[in-house]
Structure 1
């Protein structure tokens, strides 16, 4: 019982930290990677609730589909020219 509480607290912390990182990240690619970490940790919460089907759908649909789509969109629309910062 104590190990389940520790695991829940650990994955809740991972979910909150990665979600906060998604909002605060300046680079869209890094934000999408942090979104993947948040979605996988939500899938772990589903496993802890003994809802394995929902966890599998979370990984297949959101991590496998939506996150890959976002990552490809960011990679394909990224400019290859160096940015010029004005002072």
Structure 2
């Protein structure tokens, strides 16, 4: 087994495990972190396929934008829920 196959299998397993964690996690923040991990593993697979531009776009758009927007949405909605519970 070559190192490329080993790295690919590791990335595929980590992408699958983190995708399952996105579905199974009870906390939404844990799901977002697992989603970012899945996107990074997929970007690493693109690098292995010599598609560096697609990998950079994957990281910039999905990890950089989508995950950050979801985290900001979580932070803003939780603040409103926490303040209404205190009253």
Mapped to 2, the partners of 1:19 and 1:75 lie a distance apart of 22
CA RMSD between the two structures? 1.3
Mapped to 2, the partners of 1:8 and 1:24 lie a distance apart of 24
5+ residue gaps, structure 2, are none
Mapped to 2, the partners of 1:67 and 1:6 lie a distance apart of 28
Mapped to 1, the partners of 2:41 and 2:75 lie a distance apart of 24
Moved over 2 A (4+): 79-82
Superposition deviation, residue 31 in structure 1: 0.3
Superposition deviation, residue 75 in structure 1: 1.1
Return the structure number with greater helix share.
2
Q: TM-score, normalised by structure 1?
A: 0.89
Superposition deviation, residue 76 in structure 1: 1.1
Superposition deviation, residue 50 in structure 1: 0.3
Mapped to 2, the partners of 1:39 and 1:75 lie a distance apart of 21
Aligned length: 82
Partner of 1:64: 64
Partner of 1:6: 6
Partner of 1:85: none
